[in-house]
Structure 1
Amino acid sequence: MKILAATGLQREARILAGPGVAVVAGGGDHARLEAELDRLAPGARGIISIGIAGALAPGLRPGDWVVADNGTDPGWAGRLAARLPGARLGAILGVDAMMAEAAGKAALHRETGALAVDMESHVAARVARRHNLPFAAARAISDAADRSLPPAARVGMRPDGGMDLPAVLRALARDPCQLPALIRTGIEAERGFRALLRGHRGLGPTLAGPVVDLDSA
């Protein structure tokens, strides 16, 4: 019985995949993500939303970790927080569309109090509830709350979670002035990916998930 991990990008999936984990990269296609999680859930022992995310709370910087304490399994959340250096416990908000504007992030933080935002956690939590499975969420920050993503960065994800480089180049060609912001976004996102890689190593092959009692399984 594997841990089922929901994430957004194929790059995240490559970092997280292993013998004890089945990873589904949503790519922003929530219907496909939910259907695939539903298909795999009967053979899972828990579902986790994990990867990179945008910060909503001021003070969170690229590479910082947030572990969800809203609607999650307390034991799993505790193990995640203990093994991810400096992790902050708090709400992680799942939304259907990319939250790319600093003003929108600030508004969401005021309205919800959530620390971070992604596009998979709400879907993963819904599937976990439906299948009566433990749920957890942990996210490495890739863009701070006061950062707005340039247009070229907003079109860079294909529906399968891969990188859409032609779309990025087309957006950049339409507005070359966004190049400095795009480079900065890439550098900061790289900090998030590096944190995800280090975090994966610290969490172990089953992402600190629930232990199966083989005698009762």
Structure 2
Amino acid sequence: MKRLGIVCGVKAEEAALGTLVDDPALRTAVSGASPAKAEDLARELVEVHGCTALLSFGVSGALSDALVPGDIAVARAVVMRDGKRIEASPQFAPLLAQCAARAGLTLKHVDMADAADVVADVAAKRALGRRTGTHAVDMESGAVAHVARELGVPFTALRAVSDAVHHTLPHAALGAIGPGGDIRVMTTVLRLMLRPQDLPAMMRLAAGSSKGFKSLGRCARDLVPGLLGVV
């Protein structure tokens, strides 16, 4: 039986899959925005749970003006922190394209960057994009790509953009993700109380995240089912 292993960074991304999480043709894991844990979980999905393909699924940040919040990005490749490029497996693209056409969705096929930590400010985002030639960044896709290459299973990344390249992530939002993938709401509120100047940036982040998670929900409803039992 073909089984898709899905690695998410936070529980909200896993929750976007809805009732799909109960489908025997897939298995999910949440890394808590830890690349090291994402790597361990991806390996476990294949070696312990018998997954025959891997998908990095969640939201991402834009590294160029080519992507805006709400866009749906599909990996052509992941550029690792050491500069090495890992190509996404080609069998995913036509399947996703067929599903997107039926649902009226537009997919952006881009190179994605691997990151060890949150890339928060505009200068750092643009510099990473220029250096790597990538347009999106997250903290799970690199781990998934590495494990997939090591174990010889197909992979891709399907990410909805939640923050634009010209938006700096506010200090109040940093460190908001717990090790289990929960959002530390009280920590964020307390940080915002100490730095009320972060409020406009938090409001922009909330608006972008809302667009990103709306698109992620569309991915779960209209795209992911087309991969089940096939890869």
The alignment's TM-score, normalised by the length of structure 2, stands at 0.86
* Distance in structure 1 (CA, Å) of the matches to 2:95 and 2:71: 17
Q: Following TM superposition, by how much is the alpha carbon of 1:96 offset from its aligned partner in structure 2, in angstroms? A: 0.7
Q: What is the aligned partner in structure 1 of residue 45 from structure 2?
A: 40
Q: What is the aligned counterpart of 1:193 among 201, 209, 213? A: 213
Asked if 1:22 corresponds to 2:27, the answer is: yes
Tell me if structure 2 keeps the 8 A contact 1:76–1:210.
no
Distance 1:129 1:199 in 2: 24
Indicate how the Cα distance of structure 1 residues 171 and 22 shifts in structure 2: closer, same or farther if over 3 A, else same.
same
> C-alpha displacement at 1:82, in angstroms?
4.2
1:44 aligned counterpart, secondary structure: coil
1:75 offset after TM fit, Å?
A: 1.7
Structure 2 counterpart of 1:79: 95
Partner of 1:167, secondary structure, is helix
Cα distance in structure 2, aligned partners of 1:13 and 1:152: 23
Deviates more, 1:80-89 or 1:104-113: 80-89
The superposition leaves residues 132-168 of structure 1 with CA deviations (integer Å, 9 ceiling, x where unpaired) of 1001111110001111111111221111111101210
State the Cα distance separating 1:202 from its structure 2 match.
0.8
Residue aligned with 1:147, SS: coil
Backbone CA RMSD of aligned residues: 1.6
**Which is worse superposed, 30-39 or 131-140?**
30-39
Q: Does the CA contact (< 8 Å) of 1:46 and 1:209 recur in 2?
A: no
* 1:152-197 Cα shifts (integer Å, max 9, x gaps): 1122111111110121012112111211221221111011001000
Distance 1:107 1:82 in 2: 34
User: Helix, strand or coil for the counterpart of 1:74?
Assistant: coil
Aligned residue for 2:153?
A: 133
Q: Distance in 2 between matches of 1:81 and 1:104?
A: 32
Structure 2 CA distance for partners of 1:210 and 1:127, relative to 1, 3 Å? farther
Mark the runs of 5 or more structure 2 residues left unpaired by the alignment.
78-86
Residue number among 100, 106, 125 corresponding to 2:126 in the alignment: 106
Q: What displacement does 1:36 show?
A: 2.0
Listed as ranges, the gaps of 5+ residues in structure 1 are: 213-217
Q: Which residue of 2 aligns with 1:172?
A: 192
Provide the residue aligned with 2:7 in structure 1. 6
Between stretches 62-71 and 21-30, larger displacement belongs to 21-30
Contact 1:48/1:124 (8 A) holds in 2: yes
Work out the percentage of aligned pairs sharing the same amino acid: 33
Instruction: Map Cα deviations across residues 39-64 of structure 1 (whole Å, 9 max, x no partner).
Output: 22130110011110000121311110
- Matched residue, 1:50: 57
Q: Distance in 2 between matches of 1:174 and 1:202?
A: 41
Instruction: Between 132-141 and 33-42, report the one with greater CA deviation.
Output: 33-42
Q: Secondary structure of the residue that 1:69 maps to in structure 2? A: strand
Q: Tell me if the contact between 2:63 and 2:164 (Cα under 8 Å) persists in the aligned partners.
A: yes
Q: 2:73 aligns with which of 66, 70, 82?
A: 66
Distance 1:201 1:132, change over 3 A: same
| Distance in 2 separating the partners of 1:138 and 1:44 | 17
